[in-house]
Copies of this chain bind each other. A is one copy, B any other.
């Protein structure tokens, strides 16, 4: 009886190679695509047909958009996670959830092995391996492109030899699309200088006039846009479309790969850019000083673990409990103005706003304390600094 393998399939050159190659090794190859929001129904159908045509024993589309939001994106938003102050972890996060869905299916199909198309150079191999090891401990992991160190040309050569017909032209830009952003690599991102040209980005900038929008949050989750109640995933999709038409959320991420080298990649993430800044703007009004301060540290950790594929570590569950708890009052409206290539948070409205006129307006004399209270506060707040100074002088410092 043939050994069975489940291949994480995306329809590109690398995973097409893997599909043929694994069959040539004698495997019964099952394919699956874990969709995190990067494909249309039509694209998914085309890919399914293609997989079967290339010999897949079965093909499944795993729609994980909702679980990706519920278990991943939601917390990235709670934490306002922007890796290195820039990157919403668009691709990093979705790999973990794709790997988990594939692993789940591998266990259901009772396959002997599990395969992915990652090279040996980057983060993805680690993210896939980590999740597979943890969730499918008995199964062999096969990564043909990594193991055989194949060049693009060698892959094409092999596929042609196996009579595979597909478009072998190399796209100028390699694009990875998902609900939480699109990464874009090209010649400008290979070196340390250079920004992606307009045409590298999948969205087209069509708007020139500025536009005011209102985003509604409930306990940290986006639940409405311009007065219309929507599910969070729908808000994200709508903001990706709208923000994309303004060219919002484009930047270049420079960071440390899990393997220790620096990497540079372009991205376009309109919804994450707008939502994170809006959410953060609301938090500044409704969270305490200590919540803001401590949450900032926690979020750095959450982003770090997510980036390095360690999301299954129970530390992430603990951080999520913290983050969820912190959102109890993050409810209200945020007013944002979009303009070409930029946007501005104009303000918020919330019943939990601590800048509340229950107590008088900021900047004016208020009823919360007297001048003497303020003097007393300043005196005691500075008492240690004063003692330190005095002691130093006395010690002849």
Cβ-defined contact, B390 with A137, below 8 A: yes
In the bound complex, residues from chain B placing their C-beta under 8 Å from that of A125 are 374, 378
| A-B contact sample (16 more), CB < 8 A, given A260-B385, A261-B387, A369-B380 | A119-B365, A120-B365, A120-B371, A146-B374, A192-B355, A193-B346, A254-B284, A256-B289, A260-B382, A261-B368, A261-B384, A262-B285, A262-B362, A358-B390, A374-B376, A377-B377
A21 at the interface (CB under 8 A from B): no
Q: Select A321's contact among B284, B322, B349, B392, beta carbons within 8 Å.
A: B322
List the B side residues contacting A298 at CB < 8 Å: 294, 298, 322
Nearest B residue to A343 via CB reads B342
Any B CB within 8 A of the CB of A207: no
| Known A191-B347, A375-B146: A381·B121 in contact at CB below 8 Å | no
Task: List A residues 357-397 near B (Cβ within 8 Å).
Answer: 357-359, 361-366, 368-392, 394-395, 397
Q: How far is the CB of A81 from chain B (nearest CB, A)?
A: 12
Residues of B within 8 A of A359 (CB): 261, 387, 390
List residues of chain B with CB within 8 A of the CB of A137.
386, 389-390
Bound-state Cα–Cα, A237 to B135, Å: 43
A281 within 8 A of B: yes
Question: Please, how many angstroms separate the alpha-carbon atoms of A259 and B284 in the complex?
Answer: 16
Q: Are A190 and B289 in contact (CB under 8 A)?
A: no
Given contacts A354-B262, A378-B126, contact A134 B389 (CB under 8 A): yes
Q: Mark A265-285, 1 if CB is under 8 A from B, else 0.
A: 000000000000000110011
Tell which of A69-77, A225-233, A308-316 binds the partner. A308-316
